[in-house]
Chains A and B, each alone.
Chain A
Amino acid sequence: MEQIIENIKKQFTLSDVTTAHGTYITCEKKDTVSLLTYLKDVEGFKHLVLITAVDWIEDNKFQLTYLLNSPKLKTELGVRTFIERSVWPEESEMQSAHHLWPAAKTYQRELHEMFGIDFPGSPEINDPLILEWWDDIPPYRRDFDTKKYSEETYYPREGRSTNDPSDYMKDQLYPREGEKNA
């Protein structure tokens, strides 16, 4: 694995490499697709496991993660990149990777729908996938208030009570201590 990262570093600038829970490398936005192409064609990471995104609302950034798998080396490698986070209804933009793996198309549709990240040129990118005719902030953005939306839209039924899990389990498991404290 170190050898692979050395090889990558010869051609691309990596801002961060972590090996704490699996190997993740962070690269610049403009390098991402060429890095993925390099990893697929030269290093043998032939399988795209998933593409996902994280909303860093404080830093005003989206983090995209491409998780790749190499059947030959039996190992996984995550490629991270940070793109600018736009304010809704503007969409963020990223290069499409569907020409490398056809399956990337579906993930990109999902990201477009859930985060509002556009991938120009990706097939069927504008078609609805899970949310059909959604007209609010994309629901996985952190400035979208799910609870408020649900209460306004879905007629919550009366009588739901909530418990703080830690207190509730303490009462359940050690009821006498609870009495003492009271």
Chain B
Amino acid sequence: MAKMNYKKRWADLEKRIVVSPEGEEFEVDPMQDYFCDAKPRVHPPNKIAPLEKFANWCRAESIYILGFGTGCGAIEMRPLSSAMYDAYRFGVNWRATPRQATVFVIGGYASVKTMKRIVRSYEQMQGPKFVLGLCSCTINGGMYWDSYNTVNRLDHYIPVDVYITGCMPRPEALLDAIDQLKKRIKSGRAEGQNKYAENFEWYKANQKKIIKNWDMPDYSW
């Protein structure tokens, strides 16, 4: 009977010296490198109020959702682009990369494995970015509240602007939430990005508590 040896299991994650193709030698510590520890900068709103208001209006009317279905709730997001719900008429659009998206819809339960991807994607999103928590699982864990692998409160890991209750909420509820988000953006209260930057240590500590290592399997790269 072999004793489970975590050092042996992920031996390639030990600290080591790597030689680059150019011949440079540098030290790699994957355990540390994969933690996204760099503190984000606070981007204050534009001081000229009418300009900021105008920009917020455009941000609200042009919503680019990140096409990343993180849980079962994501199935409610897809009908929005169909002819029946047609979210395009409200300025909603889908982007495939986090860098071009502004709204992150967390579709339902977030397991620890998914949480790692959520944090990575969220940190890659640019500009004023907004998070919609879809389904009960993002609020208090929903039906997975006592699971060994499901996050209970999403707002301990990333700032959330609007929650949608229900298991599952219907697509109309999601459309309504987008409306609420628009109101929130237009009023200038949706400053989740700055909130994340200001409370970065707290968020990072919470994330590190569940995400032991930021290494990704080979297929992720």
State the A residues within 8 Å of B (CB): 86, 89-93, 116, 118, 120, 126-128, 130-135, 139, 144, 146-147, 149-151, 153-157, 159-160
Residue pair A154, B153 in contact (C-beta under 8 Å)? yes
Residue pair A92, B1 in contact (C-beta under 8 Å)? yes
State the B residues within 8 Å of A (CB): 1-4, 6, 8-10, 111-113, 116, 139-141, 145-153, 156, 206, 209-213, 215, 217
Task: Determine the chain A residues whose CB is within 8 A of the CB of B150 once the complex forms.
Answer: 150, 154
The one of A86, A134, A157 in contact with B139, judged by C-beta atoms closer than 8 angstroms, is A157
A89 to B213, CA, bound (A): 21
Question: Can you list 20 residue pairs at the A/B interface with Cβ under 8 Å?
Answer: A90-B1, A90-B3, A91-B1, A118-B1, A118-B2, A120-B2, A128-B10, A128-B217, A130-B113, A132-B212, A133-B212, A134-B212, A146-B146, A149-B148, A150-B148, A150-B150, A151-B146, A154-B151, A156-B145, A157-B152
Residue pair A135, B6 in contact (C-beta under 8 Å)? yes
Task: Determine the chain B residues whose CB is within 8 A of the CB of A89 once the complex forms.
Answer: 3-4
Task: Determine the chain B residues whose CB is within 8 A of the CB of A93 once the complex forms.
Answer: 1-2
Residue pair A139, B148 in contact (C-beta under 8 Å)? yes
Task: Determine the chain B residues whose CB is within 8 A of the CB of A146 once the complex forms.
Answer: 146-148
Given contacts A86-B1, A91-B4, contact A131 B140 (CB under 8 A): no
The chain A residue with its CB closest to the CB of B6 is: A135
Task: Determine the chain B residues whose CB is within 8 A of the CB of A118 once the complex forms.
Answer: 1-2
Q: How many A-B residue pairs have CB under 8 A?
A: 86
The chain B residue with its CB closest to the CB of A154 is: B152
The one of A90, A132, A144, A147 in contact with B112, judged by C-beta atoms closer than 8 angstroms, is A132
A147 to B215, CA, bound (A): 27
The chain B residue with its CB closest to the CB of A128 is: B217
Instruction: Give 20 new A-B contacts, CB below 8 A, not counting A91-B1, A132-B112, A146-B148.
Output: A89-B3, A90-B3, A118-B1, A127-B217, A131-B113, A133-B6, A133-B211, A133-B215, A135-B212, A139-B149, A146-B147, A150-B150, A153-B209, A154-B151, A154-B152, A154-B210, A155-B206, A157-B152, A157-B153, A160-B145
Q: How far is the CB of A124 from chain B (nearest CB, A)?
A: 10
Q: How far is the CB of A22 from chain B (nearest CB, A)?
A: 29
Given contacts A127-B217, A130-B113, A131-B113, contact A91 B2 (CB under 8 A): yes
Task: Determine the chain B residues whose CB is within 8 A of the CB of A90 once the complex forms.
Answer: 1, 3
Residue pair B152, A150 in contact (C-beta under 8 Å)? yes
A92 to B2, CA, bound (A): 8
The chain B residue with its CB closest to the CB of A144 is: B148
The one of B1, B9, B139, B210 in contact with A153, judged by C-beta atoms closer than 8 angstroms, is B210
Task: Determine the chain B residues whose CB is within 8 A of the CB of A128 once the complex forms.
Answer: 10, 217
Residue pair A116, B148 in contact (C-beta under 8 Å)? no
A130 to B147, CA, bound (A): 14
Q: How far is the CB of A125 from chain B (nearest CB, A)?
A: 9
Task: Determine the chain A residues whose CB is within 8 A of the CB of B153 once the complex forms.
Answer: 154-157
